Amino acid sequence: MTEWYEWAEAPPADFAVIGDPISHSLSPRMWQAAFSETGLDLRYVALRVPAGKVEPALLHLDGLGYQAVNVTVPLKAEACLACASLEDFARRSAAVNAILLKGRVGRNTDGPGFLDTLSDLPVRGRNVLLLGAGGSARSVALALASEGYNLRVFNRTRVRAEEMVRDLQIDAKVVDAPALLDAHLIVNATSASLTGSPVPVRFEEAAPGTVAYDLVYGDTPFLKSAREHGLLGVDGRALLVAQGARAFAWWLHRDPPRAAMEAGLG
């Protein structure tokens, strides 16, 4: 469990991750490790910001002298609306996970960060089953589609998946069940793992070599089940480092200390 604060009681600091829930976030540990490694005397904290409160929270943090924030579940779409300008990928995915408070510039480092992590994985083909249609699923879907992957999308609420595919203007098929069929990669971009809920995927139908990737970190029910059926399971730590490294380079204008960030996760 990470130490966290309500946004209205935010302590003096320089950077924060905002979301709800927030106690699971490993971002403060990762960022403090990055600051120690680079000799920067800066503080990064976790703040609970409920849905509907992004705008007042950003105003408050700006007033306290915070420089920038990361945004997590369930605020990535709302954060878009709170930005004065959006970089291209954030605008197209309608999801922001990093905001520079000066000028309220929004960026999405999840999608490009996700692609960074894929290059280290033994994914044998380009067929992907994506679960979810929230802010993170949007950035992953856009990133994969822009690299030419064949996407099928399943979401608990089908209409949200349809909206996502339409809004992103990508070529992806919305499906009624999370059937693996010929998927080489299955990505769980739902927040089900945060509450320990299983996602009804029949891993026994997976082709040999299929990779299961959960954006949530740890030994989630999704990954446990995938590994029990012989799949390679990858949790969200690599993505946390990849998206954080991109935000670090943007905000601090220097190379991110990736190894220290990874080690900081424990």
Sequence length of the chain is: 266
Tokens of 62: 């700006």
Cα separation, 264 vs 245, whole angstroms = 13
Q: Report the residue closest to ligand NDP, judged by CB.
A: 134
Structural contact between residues 5 and 45, judged by C-beta atoms closer than 8 angstroms: yes
Give min distance, CB of 89 to ligand NDP, in A: 14
Find the binder of ligand NDP among 98, 118, 165, 240 (CB under 6 A). Answer: 240
Spatial neighbors of 240 by CB under 8 A, at least 6 apart, are: 26, 27, 30, 217, 265
132 interacts with ligand NDP by CB under 6 A: yes
The one segment of 35-43, 130-138, 204-212, 223-231 that binds ligand NDP by CB under 6 A: 130-138
How are beta strands 105-107 and 172-174 bridged, if at all?
unpaired
The one segment of 7-15, 82-90, 117-125, 210-218 that binds ligand NDP by CB under 6 A: 210-218
Question: Per-residue DSSP letters for 119-169?
Answer: TTS---SSEEEEE--SHHHHHHHHHHHHTT-EEEEE-SSHHHHHHHHHHHT
Find the binder of ligand NDP among 33, 69, 174, 215 (CB under 6 A). Answer: 215
111 interacts with ligand NDP by CB under 6 A: no
CA neighbours within 13 Å on the CB side: how many for 127?
10
Comparison of 111 and 257: residue with beta carbon closer to ligand NDP: 111
134 interacts with ligand NDP by CB under 6 A: yes
Whether 76 sits among the annotated catalytic residues: the reply is yes
Site for ligand NDP in 142-181 (CB under 6 A): 155-157, 160
Q: Is the peptide bond before 74 cis (omega within 30 degrees of 0)?
A: yes
The one segment of 55-63, 122-130, 176-184, 193-201 that binds ligand NDP by CB under 6 A: 193-201
- Please give the residue ranges that form the binding site for ligand NDP (CB under 6 A): 72-74, 76, 110, 132-137, 155-157, 160, 189-192, 194, 197, 199, 215-217, 236, 239-240, 243
